[in-house]
């Protein structure tokens, strides 16, 4: 995790803006530096106060100090001040990436994702842009639920990781992004398999086939491809579409010859009096030719 320091950045002068706190009684008392409290019983007096602006580098350092104390919320608030007080400046930009980091480290993933997206939308080509994208994707990644639940965050994380790899292929975050892409794809394939099995158990073979087809079309390099092919053997045999069942078994045997799923598929076909056999017009053949670059069968 690279640390961003203030070195190399000069303080940006800001026109002196004095924040003046004054209370006015009924009537003009412009010449007075203090006024009496309107409480008829007396009491405190209110004084006009001039609150000086805090330099940008001081605010930044205050944010860093809070990070060192692991006060991530306080740090994020400090870095946010930079954008408010020094808009459209390099301090504003630095504050935004550090705000994103602080929120992420504090486990505020929703807020971190919003802040990160805002950064690379405003600054699509800075040195910190790949890091902003990585933090945004990781914020989604860290919220991925189990496969029984909606996978919207998985899909969002996948998109941002892929954009990071495509736009910044030499970034230091690319290697981990590629690994996370495989993990997320496996998660999404697992969700499709779960739904497909549900349909298969309800004898809704057509709906099940559509789910297993999605696994092979979108996630054929995941560990779920083997089972998807076996389930297609089951579903197609149940519908009496023998040539597709034979093709699923043949593709399974060609790509995963030592798989238990292939042994089960072969036994299932033999039990029905058939052998694995590729149908050249099958959608499965086209998919695996594209993936492997060789003919199946």
CATH of residue 91's domain is 1.25.40.10
**Whose CA is closest to 249, among 266, 225, 234, 235?**
266
Q: What is the pLDDT of residue 124?
A: 97
Residue 129, classed as helix, strand or coil, is: helix
Domain extent, residue 75, equals 54-143
Report yes or no on 109 lying in a domain. yes
Segment 103-130, tens digit of pLDDT: 999 999 999 999 999 999 999 999 999 9
Average the pLDDT over 42-46 and give the result.
49
- Among 102, 117, 143, the domain boundary falls at 143
- Among 103, 127, 143, the domain boundary falls at 143
Segment 9-26, tens digit of pLDDT: 333 333 332 232 232 233
- Among 126, 143, 160, the domain boundary falls at 143
Report yes or no on 32 lying in a domain. no
Report yes or no on 17 lying in a domain. no
The region that residue 16 occupies, defined by phi over 0 for left and psi between -120 and 50 for alpha, beta otherwise, is beta
One domain for residues 208 and 280: yes
Per cent of the chain over pLDDT 70 is: 80
Q: What is the pLDDT of residue 25?
A: 30
Q: What is the pLDDT of residue 11?
A: 34
pLDDT band at 177 (very low <50, low <70, confident <90, very high): very high
Spatial distance between the Cα atoms of 258 and 266, rounded to a whole number of angstroms? 12
Per mean pLDDT, which range of 37-46, 193-202, 213-222 is the poorest? 37-46
pLDDT band at 1 (very low <50, low <70, confident <90, very high): very low
Report yes or no on 121 lying in a domain. yes
Give, for 287, the enclosing helix (H) or strand (E).
Answer: helix 283-292
Q: What is the pLDDT of residue 48?
A: 52
Query: Measured between alpha carbons, how far apart are the two ends of the chain, in Å?
Result: 48
Per mean pLDDT, which range of 19-28, 69-78, 89-98, 186-195 is the poorest? 19-28
Residues linked to residue 221 through DSSP beta bridges, in sequence order = none
One domain for residues 216 and 285: yes
Report yes or no on 62 lying in a domain. yes
CA 134 vs CA 67, 103, 127, 152, 277: distances in Å: 20, 14, 13, 18, 45
pLDDT band at 289 (very low <50, low <70, confident <90, very high): confident
Spatial distance between the Cα atoms of 291 and 288, rounded to a whole number of angstroms? 5
Q: What is the pLDDT of residue 23?
A: 25
**Whose CA is closest to 274, among 234, 231, 238, 245?**
245
Is 184 within 8 Å of 158 (Cβ atoms)? yes
One domain for residues 131 and 202: no
Q: Report residue 46 CA to chain centroid gap.
A: 51
Report yes or no on 233 lying in a domain. yes
The region that residue 295 occupies, defined by phi over 0 for left and psi between -120 and 50 for alpha, beta otherwise, is beta
Q: What is the pLDDT of residue 280?
A: 86
Report yes or no on 269 lying in a domain. yes
Is 206 within 8 Å of 238 (Cβ atoms)? no
pTM: 0.77
- From the number of C-beta atoms within 10 Å of its C-beta (0-12, 13-18, 19+), residue 34 rates as exposed
Tell whether the model's pLDDT for residue 252 goes beyond 70.
Answer: yes
Average the pLDDT over 34-47 and give the result.
43
Report yes or no on 65 lying in a domain. yes
What's the mean per-residue pLDDT of the chain?
85
Per cent of the chain over pLDDT 90 is: 76
Tell whether the model's pLDDT for residue 39 goes beyond 80.
Answer: no
Tell whether the model's pLDDT for residue 132 goes beyond 70.
Answer: yes
One domain for residues 135 and 66: yes
Tell whether the model's pLDDT for residue 2 goes beyond 50.
Answer: no
- From the number of C-beta atoms within 10 Å of its C-beta (0-12, 13-18, 19+), residue 142 rates as middle
- The total number of structural domains in the chain stands at 2
Residues linked to residue 51 through DSSP beta bridges, in sequence order = 19
H helices, E strands: number in the chain: 12, 4
């Amino acid at each position: 995790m690279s640390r961003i320091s203030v070195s190399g950045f000069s303080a940006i002068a800001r026109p002196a803006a004095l924040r003046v706190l004054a209370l006015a009684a009924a009537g003009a008392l412009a010449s007075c530096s203090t006024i009496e409290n309107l409480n008829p019983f007396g009491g405190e007096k209110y004084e006009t106060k001039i609150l000086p602006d805090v330099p940008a580098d001081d605010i930044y350092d205050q944010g860093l100090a809070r990070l060192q104390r692991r006060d991530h919320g306080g740090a994020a608030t400090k870095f946010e001040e930079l954008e408010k007080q020094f808009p459209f400046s390099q301090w504003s930009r630095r504050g935004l990436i550090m705000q994103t980091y602080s929120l992420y480290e504090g486990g505020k993933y929703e807020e971190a994702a919003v802040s990160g997206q805002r950064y690379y939308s405003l600054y699509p080509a800075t040195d910190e842009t790949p890091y902003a994208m990585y933090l945004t994707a990781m914020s989604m990644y860290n919220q991925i639920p189990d496969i029984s639940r909606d996978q919207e965050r998985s899909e969002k994380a996948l998109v941002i990781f892929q954009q990071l790899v495509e736009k910044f292929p030499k970034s230091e975050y690319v290697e981990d992004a590629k690994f996370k892409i495989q993990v997320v794809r496996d998660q999404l394939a697992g969700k499709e398999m779960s739904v497909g099995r549900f349909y298969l158990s309800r004898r809704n073979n057509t709906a099940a086939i559509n789910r297993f087809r999605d696994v092979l079309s979108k996630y054929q390099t995941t560990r779920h491809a083997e089972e998807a092919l076996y389930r297609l053997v089951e579903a197609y045999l149940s519908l009496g579409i023998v040539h597709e069942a034979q093709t699923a078994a043949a593709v399974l045997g060609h790509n995963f010859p030592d798989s238990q799923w292939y042994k089960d598929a072969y036994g299932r076909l033999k039990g029905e009096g058939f052998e694995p056999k590729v149908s050249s017009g099958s959608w499965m053949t086209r998919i695996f030719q594209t993936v492997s670059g060789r003919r199946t069968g």
